[in-house]
Amino acid sequence: MADSEASSKILVSHANAHTYVKSVLQANGVSDPHAATVADCLVAADLRGVDTHGVNRIPSYLARIRQGVLDPTAEPTIKDITPVVAQVDAKNAFGFVAAKMAMARAIGMAVAFGIGMVSVKHSNHFGMSAWLVQQALDAGMMSLVFTNSSPALPVWGGKEKLMGVSPIACGAPGVEHDFILDMAPSVAARGKIYKAKRRGEKIPEDWALDKDGNRTDDPAAALEGVMLPMGGPKGSALSIMMDVFSGVLSGSAFAGHVTNPYDPSKPADVGHFLIALKPDLFLSSEEFKERMEYLYNRVINCEKMAGVDRIYFPGEIEQLTEAERRNSGIPYVEAEIEALNAEARRVGAPDLVVS
């Protein structure tokens, strides 16, 4: 973080951020374990530097609870389809809760049979995909994590919002460096535009078009327009892929019918798709990890292009950010803290403790 940027931020310990999220959710009718799950995921995003999908999302989730379009008391159900395939009906619970349950079952099936695949329907936004990849890594598993999301992106050649900025994520355990890819198929995640708007910042001109189809650096104008896909037709195709696996396959909304998490007028009906895979199916666990370490070293030690000081493995920048933020705290701006405390006051929960 640049010094000028750091000086305008207020630091909050991850423990205090977690306590805030848990208590404000409990005060809104969420059970203790589900509130803890949501807090784990949102704080994990802030720790990893994925600020777009962290604690600042709380007001949008609470607006959905107040409008009755996200059920804070719902308990997702799970049904086995085959020994290695299961289906979760989220029943309009938090996406975090349903996806965590799905990944736990996928891991259990992978332990027994080498692979587990779970489809999730009638769910909600689950924030940063990497926390599900991490759930699999914590169990020593490789994973694929897909979700669909509300329309934000034109398909290649189109100009209307149709596909979601739906992230594609996967992971594999290493010796010291796990591989974690977690990327939206747009030039930038839409959450980065919401964050710039919240913070009164401009955005790069290649992120989005305004409603008239012009490039813009104004986040408000960009939110009225469309996000640009990364790599033209390829980003557009990846977004359609997320919709096929998460929406079409699951029985959830698809083809532009998922509701925006900031639109509290109706349920979101998001679909997810998760796979856990045992890494020692074809080689011993030691061989697999040695090969991952070899790959890591080949990647980070390759010859650098002009102007590049260091090459990172996917997920490594976020790991370094997490190590730093666990010590120094998570940076928020004052307006964000005010918005969070307004939610706390609304339900008589304690303010976010700044430390």
Ligand X SMILES: NC(=O)c1ccc[n+]([C@@H]2O[C@H](COP(=O)([O-])OP(=O)(O)OC[C@H]3O[C@@H](n4cnc5c(N)ncnc54)[C@H](O)[C@@H]3O)[C@@H](O)[C@H]2O)c1
The binding site for ligand X (CB under 6 A) comprises 50, 52-53, 125-130, 147, 149, 165-167, 169, 180-184, 188-189, 191, 312, 314-315, 317-318
125 is catalytic: yes
Element containing residue 276 per DSSP (H, E):
strand 270-277
Q: Which is nearer to ligand X, 117 or 152 (CB)?
A: 152
In whole angstroms, how close is the CB of 348 to ligand X at the nearest point? 30
Q: Which is nearer to ligand X, 300 or 347 (CB)?
A: 300
In whole angstroms, how close is the CB of 270 to ligand X at the nearest point? 7
If you write DSSP's letter for every residue of 70-136 in order, what string do you get?
A: S-TT---EEEEEETTEEEEE-TT--HHHHHHHHHHHHHHHHHHHSEEEEEEEEE-----THHHHHHH
Which of the residues 34, 53, 125, 177 is marked catalytic?
125
- Locate 326 and state its tokens: 């666990």
Q: Which is nearer to ligand X, 38 or 189 (CB)?
A: 189
Q: Which is nearer to ligand X, 109 or 240 (CB)?
A: 240
Q: Which is nearer to ligand X, 34 or 125 (CB)?
A: 125
Q: Hey, what amino acid is at 78?
A: I
338: number of Cβ within 10 Å: 12
Q: Give the list of residues 6+ apart from residue 74 with CB closer than 8 angstroms, or none.
A: 90, 91, 92, 93
Q: For the stretch 130-145, what's the b/e string if a residue is b when 16 or more beta carbons lie within 10 angstroms of its beta carbon?
A: bbbbbbbbebbbbbbb
In whole angstroms, how close is the CB of 82 to ligand X at the nearest point? 27
In whole angstroms, how close is the CB of 190 to ligand X at the nearest point? 6
Distance CA 117, CA 48 (A): 26
Q: Assess contact for 239 and 164: CB atoms under 8 A.
A: yes
> Looking at the annotation, which residues are catalytic?
125
